[in-house]
Amino acid sequence: MTDARSLGPARILLVTARIDRHARELIRAMRERGAQVYTSGLAEIGFDTGSASGLTIPHFGQNLPDAVCVRAMDAGSFEQVTRRLGVLHALAQLGVFVSNDARAIENCVDKSMTSFLLARAGLPSPRSYAVESRAEALRIMAAEAGPMVLKPLFGAQGKGLKLIRADDDLPPADEIAGGVYYLQRFAGVETAGRWSDVRILISGGRAVASMRRQSASWITNVKQGAEPLPMPPDNELETLAIAATAAVGGDFCGVDLLRDAAGRAQIIEVNSMPAWTGLKKATGRDLAAIRAGDLLARIDARRAAGVPRPLSAAE
């Protein structure tokens, strides 16, 4: 067995679209634990088949990081996003630990794939559809007994959501992002003029923070004005959140859940690049420290198990 300390400090590449509060917290937490941390957007990493690794990574020269921590991806064209995800795939092929890896990100960014994987895993989630014509979407609406939520297939932070109660609520195809109608049965419940759901943060196979989000609107994202509130432990919801994270192949995910009108738990979404401002406010926990600690523990475990370190040309 290898002594992890003999290999020197862990070299971490923090992938982030910008150095925001979350990135600064992660940098601090990782450096406090002895890691060498460098930051880059995926747009800045290139493919170069003539280099030792086949990639060119800012700050690393011919070296490779021990791990990549994906905080946020840059927005871009379909081609740009495909290439950037390819970079993450390539890093994993080179033996670098990537968290979350490209497959988990792809599974979560595409809400239809998230729904598919949750259903395949036998996890409770509102029935969902993804089709490419308004006529087919109208057929689905006619077959459904209640309202549906129309969501952008590639969306986040509660943006672009629309509650569909009647055919006239369904936008024409030229107003639909990407030409895809992603429809999910509406499972929310209004209580005394308020709506709420739950966000649970999963790291390293365990629930590390939970909050209840409450809003005057049925859209309960903190970015859309919902209030983050403390909540008591809920073993059922935490178990489901852990299973949902495993279903999409993630190791650090924010899982949104609620209880429907019958009191049944439902998984609504899984986010592979979750923010934690609301969770931090609701729980008081240092979530960047938890994220950093779990990431470095994985590196130490790989080293102790004798997993070869991604080598540089000099090594």
Tell me: the pLDDT tens digits for 68-89?
999 999 889 999 999 999 999 9
pLDDT digits (tens, 9 = 90+) for 236-295: 999 999 999 999 999 999 999 999 999 999 999 999 999 999 999 999 999 999 999 999
**pLDDT value for 157:** 57
**pLDDT value for 313:** 43
The structure tokens 């109208």 sit at: 138
Residue ranges of the chain whose pLDDT lies below 70: 1-7, 155-159, 311-315
In one-letter notation, the amino acid at residue 132 is E
**pLDDT value for 122:** 98
Read off the tokens for 95.
């033996």
Nearest to 226 by CA among 204, 252, 196, 253: 196
**pLDDT value for 158:** 59
Measured between its terminal Cα atoms, the distance across the chain in Å is 20
Classify burial at 111, counting beta carbons within 10 Å of its beta carbon; exposed 0-12, middle 13-18, buried 19 or more: buried
The upper half-sphere exposure of residue 156, i.e. CA atoms within 13 Å in the direction of its Cβ, equals: 15
> What is 116-124+189-271's CATH number?
3.30.470.20
> What is 128-185's CATH number?
3.30.1490
Domain residue ranges of the chain, discontinuous segments joined by +: 4-104+289-304, 116-124+189-271, 128-185
Question: What is the rounded distance in angstroms from the CA atom of residue 312 to the CA atom of residue 196?
Answer: 50
Contact yes or no for 263/206 (Cβ under 8 A):
no
Q: Which fold has domain 4-104+289-304?
A: Rossmann fold (3.40.50)
Contact yes or no for 202/241 (Cβ under 8 A):
yes
Task: Please give the radius of gyration of the chain, using alpha carbons only, rounded to the nearest integer.
Answer: 21
DSSP-assigned states of every residue in 234-269:
-HHHHHHHHHHHHHTT-SEEEEEEEE-TTS-EEEEE
Question: What is the rounded distance in angstroms from the CA atom of residue 294 to the CA atom of residue 298?
Answer: 6
**pLDDT value for 315:** 42
